[in-house]
Amino acid sequence: MNLDVTRDPQRKSWILAANHANCDFPIQNLPFGIFSDAANPSPRVGVALGDRIVDLSVLQQAGILTLAQPVFAQPRLNDFIALGRPAWREIRMQLSTLFEIADPVLRDATEVRRRALVPMAAATLHLPVEIPGYTDFYSSKEHATNVGSMFRDPKNALLPNWLEMPIGYNGRASSVVVSGTPVRRPNGQLKLPDQERPVLGACRKLDIELETGFIIGQGNRLGEPIKVEDAEAHIFGMVLLNDWSARDIQQWEYVPLGPFNAKSFATSISPWVVTLDALEPFRVGQPVQQPQPLAYLRHAGAHAFDIGLEVRLQPAGAAHACTLARTNFRHLYWTMAQQLAHHTVSGCNTRVGDLMGSGTISGPHADSFGSLLELTWNGQRPLQLKCGEADAAAETTSRSFIEDGDTLTLTGVCQGDGYRIGFGAVSATILPAHPLD
C-alpha cells in the first residue's frame, strides 16, 4: 500500500454512494472534520465518505483503526493534526483499505459498521479545528488589479510591492465560524459622501470574498522561518473560505493599517478539510511570475491546484440559487508555499490549526470575479439575477451587494476522470444588523 493506491481513480468503495461520479467524497478524497449526531451529541473526528460520516473514534475503539494516540474522541482535529504527516498518511491508507470494495474487515463486521457509519444528513458538522491564528492574504492578481483600478488608478492598479511579495494582514481567529452559522450584518462607522463626519450605522455594502484557506499541520518555532521548498509539508489541508467584508466600513477605516472591523465580524469555512494528499492528482503550475521573486520566494515545479470554484446567491424566500461567478484556484498568483515562506521569513511562528486565507480568488473574466465589489463594480452595475430554470416563472432579482435573508454558498471541486474530489460547501444566511439606539 502506498499513497498512490489511495488516489487510484478506479478505486471503489463498498459504500456505494461514494462511487457516484458526482459525489464530492469518493474513497479518493477522505477529508477530515468534526461532527455529532442525535445518538451521540459529543463532537468527534469523522471522515466524509459518500453520504456517510465515518466515526474514527468508534473504529479506533474497536481496534479496526490502529493508532497509538487517542485523538479521535475529541471536539477538534488539532491533536490528530499535531501527530504529523506520517500519522495523517497512515490513517489515510488504513481508511482507504478498510473501505475498498473487496475488503471484508469492516464491511462484514455488522455491529461495528452500524455504529461507525453515520448518515451525513442526520449529523451536525462543527468547526473542524481550533484556530489559534487567522491570516488573510491578497494573492489574486486579477482581484488586486480590479480593486486598484476601482479605487486608485487603472494605469497603476498594482502598488509597487504587490508583485514582490504575497501581501497579507493578521485577521481575527475568534470569529471564524463553520458553514451553516448565520452571519449578522455588522454595524460600523460609515462615511457618507455628503456628510463631513461619519455616522454609526448598519453596513450597506455587505460582500463576499470567494477564497480558500489552508490549515497549518506543523508549526514553526519563533525565530525559525519555513523555507519555501519545505512549506507544503507544513500544510494539513484546505477548506473553502468566505471572508465576509463590509465594503463601506472598510473604505473609511482601512488607511493606514488595513481592514479592521470591516472583516472581523465573521469568516465562514467549510466543515471538511481536504488533505494535500487527496489534492495531489490536481496539482498544476502556477501563473508565471514576472519579475522573478526574491530567492526566498522561488520554488521549482508546480505548486497550484486545479480547483473549480463557484459562488451562488439565494434570495430570501426564493426556491433556487443563482450562480454569481465561477473561477479556479489555479489563477492565484502567489502559491500557498510562498505565502507561508513569506509569513515566517521575519521569524513569525505558526501553530497547528492556524488558518491562512488565499485572498479573494478572481479569474480573468467578468463572470469569474470573486466578490460583488468586482462583479457590480462597487455597485455601479447591479447584477440582474434570474434564479432557477430559465422559464417565465423565474423571478428576476437585482443585487449590488448582499441583502438581509440572502444565502451565500461557495463550492469547490477538483474534476477527475470519472470521479471528483469535492470540498462540499460553505454557506451562510445573512441576519439583519442589531438595531441601534
In angstroms, give the least distance from the CB of 41 to Mn ion. Answer: 34
Residue nearest to Mn ion (CB): 243
- Range list of H helices, 35-103: 56-61, 78-82, 85-98
Per-residue interface string for the shown chain with Mn ion, residues 233-252, x marking contact by CB under 5 A: ----------x---------
For residue 17, give the 3-state DSSP assignment: helix
Q: Which stretch binds Mn ion (CB under 5 A): 10-18, 31-39, 201-209, 308-316?
A: 201-209
In angstroms, give the least distance from the CB of 208 to Mn ion. Answer: 10
Q: Which residue lies nearer to Mn ion by CB, 136 or 142?
A: 136
Among the listed residues 207, 209, 248, 277, the single contact to Mn ion using CB under 5 A: 209
CA neighbor of 147 nearest in space, from 290, 289, 258, 310: 258
Q: Which stretch binds Mn ion (CB under 5 A): 197-205, 208-216, 227-235, 411-419?
A: 208-216
Per-residue interface string for the shown chain with Mn ion, residues 132-151, x marking contact by CB under 5 A: ----x---------------
Query: Active-site residue 126, yes or no?
Result: no
Catalytic residue among 20, 126, 143, 331: 143
Cell of 306: 486545479
- Distance (Å, whole) CA 399 – CA 373: 11
Please tell me whether residue 374 binds Mn ion under the rule CB under 5 A: no
- Distance (Å, whole) CA 119 – CA 266: 29
In angstroms, give the least distance from the CB of 243 to Mn ion. Answer: 3
Tell me the CA distances in angstroms from 337 to 28, 135, 302, 361, one per residue in order: 24, 14, 11, 16
For residue 122, give the 3-state DSSP assignment: helix
Beta strands in 259-369 (DSSP E): 267-269, 274-275, 283-284, 304-305, 308-314, 322-328, 355-357
Q: Which residue lies nearer to Mn ion by CB, 143 or 330?
A: 143
Per-residue interface string for the shown chain with Mn ion, residues 325-354, x marking contact by CB under 5 A: ------------------------------
Cell of 309: 470554484
In angstroms, give the least distance from the CB of 220 to Mn ion. Answer: 23
Q: Which residue lies nearer to Mn ion by CB, 96 or 250?
A: 250
CA neighbor of 372 nearest in space, from 197, 207, 243: 207
Place of cell 469568516: 267
Binding residues vs Mn ion (CB under 5 A): 136, 209, 243
Q: Which residues are catalytic?
A: 143
